[in-house]
Chain A
Amino acid sequence: MDHLLSSSAWLLALGQALLFAALAPGLTGWIRKAKARLQNRRGAPVLQPYRDLYKLLGKEVRVAHTASPLFRAAPYVVFVATWLAAATVPLITVDLPTAMIADIIVLVGLLALARFFLALAGMDVGTAFGGMGASREMLVSALAEPAMLLAVFTLAMTAHSTNLASVIDAHLHGPLVLRPSFLFALGALVLVAIAETGRIPVDNPSTHLELTMIHEAMILEYSGRHLALMEWAAQIKLLLYGSLIANVFFPWGIATGLEPGALAVGLAAVVLKLAALGALLATAETVLAKMRLFRVPAFLNLALLLALLGLLGHVILEVGS
């Protein structure tokens, strides 16, 4: 543990956090591009989200008369909490001091903090759409969070640790084991990720029909750099879930030390894995249709069931007695 607290490790953690923020719009751009190609459109370039963010950051902010100070503070809280949560996820190397500071339960907690302020900001201006988005977001998260934690518990009980770095380490250094519990946990986590990042079939990130929105309804009143921060936070969250799935279940390639060569391999590996995941997500979004809201609980119950079966499978089949 102590070697992790050296200054070079901290520097690397800082670099990785910056990398997270830098890569996030790219992943979104890549998914949009892949989706456009699958739908026989040419689509915007992969770098378009960067340009959007840059443009929004320079624009003037308009705030509604009815907004309270919380409305102006919320984008910063949401962005920072999401970013800090992302900084605890190993992206290119396992040895991460931030993973020590905040284990995977804290990660879930930080995301919940961001969501709390997002939902409050949605209710602040006093429009019907904001309240609607907040109410729906809290429903989805209430059902998704236990599934996520159960899936995480399955991993944690296998590795005997809730530290994300240790979980990946245990997976990476042990022999190749086919665990039924991991299969279920993966399924559960994928479903949770889809629900939490507001992708089809739970929410549509590019919708313009007000009554079908969840995430967009809450940030409807934001403009300028506030909007940019909210959008950026959502992109970081997507990257967070992507790298969580990629690095926990398919950890191969991730660096285990701080050598530059290993780090380069780690970066290449994670970019490849994320590209593959993004393409899969784009395909799924093209094939599936959005569900109506009251089908979402069934979707998330499936996630919960998968996570529960993963846990039971772990206890019954893998440890034995």
Chain B
Amino acid sequence: MNIVDLPLQEQLVLVLAALVLLSSFVLLEQARLVSAIHAFAWQGGLVAAVTGLVATAGHLPHLYISALLTLVLKALLIPWMLHRLVRRLALERHAEALHRPALVIMAAVALVIFSYWLVIPIVEQELAFTRNMVAISLAAVLIGLLMMASRPQAVLQVLGFMAMENGLFLAAVSATGGMPLVVELGVAFDVLVAMVLFGVFFLQIRESIDSLDVDRLNRLTETPEEDR
């Protein structure tokens, strides 16, 4: 499959998918909390756009609903909630640079190549043009996980989690033309509930340890603290 043989609309889908991957990288190395939330909102918007375009290209009308849902939830509602939360916690000006950014970015690039390697054997005949997008979505999922592992700040970890969810959704859209609508609604609802729970959780840990640095939670360990 070469991109030259595809209709313009499907090429646009690929361009948008690549941009989703870029937004994952931007999210990963973003120093300022507010900018990270914006990057996440852009990612949600891009995923929604991909879904909408796949719906048109593949004539899958139920994907329009998914696209709308994604747009409202991921690009508008959740970023807005996070924004409000950050303002309540007075973290608008919070910024922390990634520790050893070059290593993390290199790891992320390696993840992209790795996911491509994983996906090559998968041969999916239907929706052939989206096949390679599975690699991109898998990479987005893994980069989300990498973000959760490399950032100590709780809000950024939540963003990483949500970015993983974006990647999974993209994979579902590109590999199988979307999940059944019921499942999708369920997942969307779960994400929303998770968001609310995270909000409560932030306020709680902030009250108890006076920080959102999850490394501080190390103190809760059973074993005696190491010498530091």
Is the C-beta of B153 less than 8 angstroms from some C-beta in chain A?
no
Is the C-beta of B15 less than 8 angstroms from some C-beta in chain A?
yes
Are B120 and A317 in touch, CB under 8 angstroms? no
Residue from the list A301, A306, A320 in contact with B2, Cβ < 8 A = A320
Query: A264-321: which residues lie under 8 A (CB-CB) from chain B?
Result: 298, 301, 305-306, 308-309, 312-313, 315-321
CA distance A301 to B19 in the complex (A): 17
- B102: A residues at CB distance < 8 A: 301
Is the C-beta of A128 less than 8 angstroms from some C-beta in chain B?
no
Name A313's closest neighbour in chain B (CB-CB): B18
Is the C-beta of A209 less than 8 angstroms from some C-beta in chain B?
no
Name 19 interchain pairs, CB-CB below 8 A, sorted by A. Answer: A176-B8, A178-B11, A179-B3, A180-B14, A180-B17, A183-B18, A298-B101, A301-B102, A309-B18, A309-B25, A309-B112, A312-B112, A312-B116, A316-B116, A317-B18, A318-B14, A320-B1, A320-B2, A320-B131
Is the C-beta of A211 less than 8 angstroms from some C-beta in chain B?
no
Name A309's closest neighbour in chain B (CB-CB): B22
- B1: A residues at CB distance < 8 A: 320
Are B132 and A177 in touch, CB under 8 angstroms? no
- B21: A residues at CB distance < 8 A: 309, 313
**A 169-183 binary contact with B (CB < 8 Å = 1; else 0):** 000001111111101
Residue from the list A174, A184, A309 in contact with B4, Cβ < 8 A = A174
CA distance A301 to B101 in the complex (A): 10
Are B135 and A316 in touch, CB under 8 angstroms? yes
Query: A105-135: which residues lie under 8 A (CB-CB) from chain B?
Result: none
- A313: B residues at CB distance < 8 A: 18, 21
- B22: A residues at CB distance < 8 A: 184, 306, 309
Main SS at interface, chain B: helix
Query: B103-137: which residues lie under 8 A (CB-CB) from chain A?
Result: 105, 109, 112-113, 116, 120, 131-133, 135-136
Main SS at interface, chain A: helix
Are B120 and A321 in touch, CB under 8 angstroms? yes
The number of chain B residues touching the other chain, given as a range, is 20 to 34
Are B120 and A312 in touch, CB under 8 angstroms? no
Is the C-beta of B172 less than 8 angstroms from some C-beta in chain A?
no
Is the C-beta of B12 less than 8 angstroms from some C-beta in chain A?
yes
Given contacts A305-B25, A308-B109, contact A317 B17 (CB under 8 A): yes
- B116: A residues at CB distance < 8 A: 312, 315-316
Distance in Å: Cβ of B9 to nearest Cβ of chain A: 9
Besides A177-B4, A316-B136, A319-B3, 5 new A-B residue pairs in contact (Cβ under 8 A), listed by A number: A180-B15, A309-B18, A313-B18, A317-B18, A317-B136
- B101: A residues at CB distance < 8 A: 298, 301
Name A310's closest neighbour in chain B (CB-CB): B18
Are B131 and A183 in touch, CB under 8 angstroms? no
Residue from the list B3, B19, B131 in contact with A318, Cβ < 8 A = B3
Most buried by B among A298, A313, A319: A313
